A and B are shown apart, each in its own frame.
Chain A
């Protein structure tokens, strides 16, 4: 079990450019989450998919941020026209998300995004 895999581990983009972050959840996990970590805000929930369907995107900034899960083995978080305040560690997580299998969430190592 390789755990949740996130690529790239580090990304530097120029202000105004687009950034796409990739996540491969643990095989068999039906729930996929995206979080953002900053020094000021701590760990913040962004969005959540279950069985590839978007369930809760209440934490996503309304503009420039979008997340997709085109198949059960990967999800992407896209940030258009990146701004310096988007600099953060973006964490992907997954869980079995079932009554019998439990809902323990496992995190990837994150992608550190730096917007210059």
Chain B
């Protein structure tokens, strides 16, 4: 079946530094979403991309459907960026808009 491989599974960052998360897809996906799960367990929408790149503050995401990957870059990390980040991809065919989730990246920002 469709798979989303997310890496790394865990990441520690010092405040002020940056890093990247990546999701690889085993098939062509129509779009990708990135979420952060906050301390109360809610999924917070970060980005929705059907192509190209988007930037929001210290976060930037890219999606290449042809090359079957998406990335999420965090720059100038702050303590409040800690949480579990998920990518979720929407398969390219059919009527279904269902999302297939990666396993998540546990990001810990340390001072």
Contacts and interface: CB of A to CB of B under 8 A. Distances in A.
Contacts of A104: 33, 45, 48
The contact size tier of chain B is: 20 to 34
B88 to A, nearest CB: 8
Interface residues of A, number: 24
Nearest to A43: B101
A56 B96 contact: yes
Contacts of B88: 43, 105
A17 to B, nearest CB: 24
A109 B98 contact: no
Given A89-B41, A104-B48, A106-B45, A33 B98 contact: yes
Interface string B45-56: 100100000000
Contacts of B98: 33, 45, 48, 56, 59
A8 B103 CA distance: 26
22 contacts: A33-B98, A42-B101, A42-B104, A43-B88, A44-B101, A45-B98, A45-B99, A45-B100, A48-B96, A56-B94, A56-B95, A56-B96, A59-B98, A97-B97, A102-B48, A103-B30, A103-B48, A103-B90, A105-B88, A105-B99, A107-B35, A110-B41
